[in-house]
Structure 1
Amino acid sequence: MITIEDIEAAARRIGGRVRRTPVVEVTPEAGAPEAGAPEAGAPEAGAPAGRLWFKLEFLQHTGSFKARGALNHLLAAAERGRLPDAGVVAASGGNAGLAFAHAADRLGVHAEVFVPETAPEVKVARLRALGADVVQVGVRYADAYDAATKRAEDRGALFCHAYDQPAVCAGQGTLGPELLEQTGGELDTVLVAVGGGGLMAGVATALEGRARVVAVEPENAPTLHAALAADRPVDVSVSGVAADSLGASRVGEIAFDVARRTGVASLLVPDAAIVHARRTLWDRYRVAVEHGTAAAAAALFTGTHRPAPGERVAVLLCGANTDPSDLVG
């Protein structure tokens, strides 16, 4: 469980170490794709109403929101005297590993990151550039996770979970009050992509009673959707275009508890809609994001989330560690 007090403490801890990423307002009518634009299999678009903002969190250190939680986790451990000389070990589909490698580099400790063999080369190369030792194991995040937990135990290193540790979720949650302030407090709904759920957990906690959070997941990786249906976290099969960043096979316990407590709903979008949303963000706004990030926008662009008249909506564009070559031409 995390609380607003945890998020406020995280904000104090990481203040000055992370970027206050910008928010841009766009006209709601411009948010929908051109008529006939969606690729085969994508739902028909509906034009949203009210006000619409994009939170450009992909401009964060390491290219994703995860720098917030990683820094908070390591700094909190250091405060408790629990940041060992052996350094840190993390398991990641890519973005969390980059964030923990960055945080470790900033604090002068060694980082070892386990990633699936399917992790995009652009992320693996950046991990190595940050000085982390990279170990590629298996084809799923779960394979990397199992190997990483064993290595951390063997070495006496601090284990860094990609999304299911309180300090990680609290750090991600610092995005929430920042967004609320940047939108003048005039915010009804936040659309956020969910894999393991750490970002959703933090933001939903931070905005509880102020704005509702809607989770958006790929149809091929419905971790939160399945957990809400089963009333507990359950394993799901994971595949599809967003699996490199939304590739957790089970939603985190913290995320599930927060979703149930705060009433977070889960929407599912197909791969075709995600691909189209990513292209739309580039074509209309020259914003290049990864497929997992585009899932949140896909719910809006396709009408899977249809804002009520006057509804004020923010879309978290949370990561851009992607190969942009397929966006050109």
Structure 2
Amino acid sequence: MQVAILTEGGEKRGLGHVIRCSAIYEAFIEIGIKPVVYIDLSDKIYYKTLEFKEVNWLENKEVLKTLENFDIVIVDSYIADYDLYEEISSKVKIPVFLDDNARIDYPRGIIVNFSLCAEKIFENRKNESNYYLLGPQYIPIRKAFLEISKIRKDKKDRINQIFLMFGGTDVINLSAKVLKLLKENTFSSFRKVVVTGSRKIAIDIRQNFPDVEVLLNPDPGVLARKMAMSDLAISAAGMTLYELAYLQIPTIAICVADNQRRGLYEFVNKGYLKEYLSYEDPLLLSKIRSSLHFMMSNYTKVRRRSLIGRNIVDGRGSKRLVNKLVRFYREKSIDTRR
């Protein structure tokens, strides 16, 4: 069986798609299948642990032509248009399209949306040409996080270390704003760990906040370990939030993109998060300050609430997804070639 994965990332586009595709890649590796990965990776933001070919597959006709040689092709894109999906669908036995928000009406294939509100998103958008794998049971979690959860110790009854990550590249530079808040006397004793994919932001933080530990594009093992060692996280509401939920870390999550809104509300509704926060809110920093005070005063209760995270994200999503795709291939039940 031949598998290809096509996705995109970079300093402006972030690394969320690359991260979730790497988790799916690892699940294929576990069953002895090594996918070929094509990434349209701008801004020279390199992802260290995934073997891939850097190419603008959105425009490279040679790459699209080679897809005829693959049995399963997974596409994870913010920007690919219908015509490109249609071309891939016509060439491949099992086309798989990862989706965040019913972005377009897809041609025939398997549509995967693992957000907490996936069923609501597609409630009136389903058609007979597609097969749908919807919901958090398909959330892909990277192997490093699955492994670190097995050895993670019980946390203390108070906050010692805060983990901050606002998307792989922190396009709106929330890191500096939140770190300035954390310099206030009430929070100044906390150890702070900031993760970013932006070299510029990393340099700025090291210059302006010398007591902060900065991780620039850490490998997943280091990232998972630092996250698991933390007592509290302040994070964007993308893939990092799923990983925090899986590790059961008390979290303050902030919506930094339109495709995060619905999912963030669902995390609040299920009780993992205390409230919905958005980067567009002029009172954002004030609300973060209030949440921090609440968590400090009620940390034992907050930590118990965070255990809900494992009920939402159980860590078996990548394996479920890959097993489903392999079964489709063997049964040839969704051959979309014309």
TM-score above 0.5? no
Normalising by structure 2, what TM-score? Answer: 0.34
The higher radius of gyration belongs to: 2
Between the two structures, name the one with larger relative contact order (CA 8 Å, sep ≥ 6).
Answer: 1
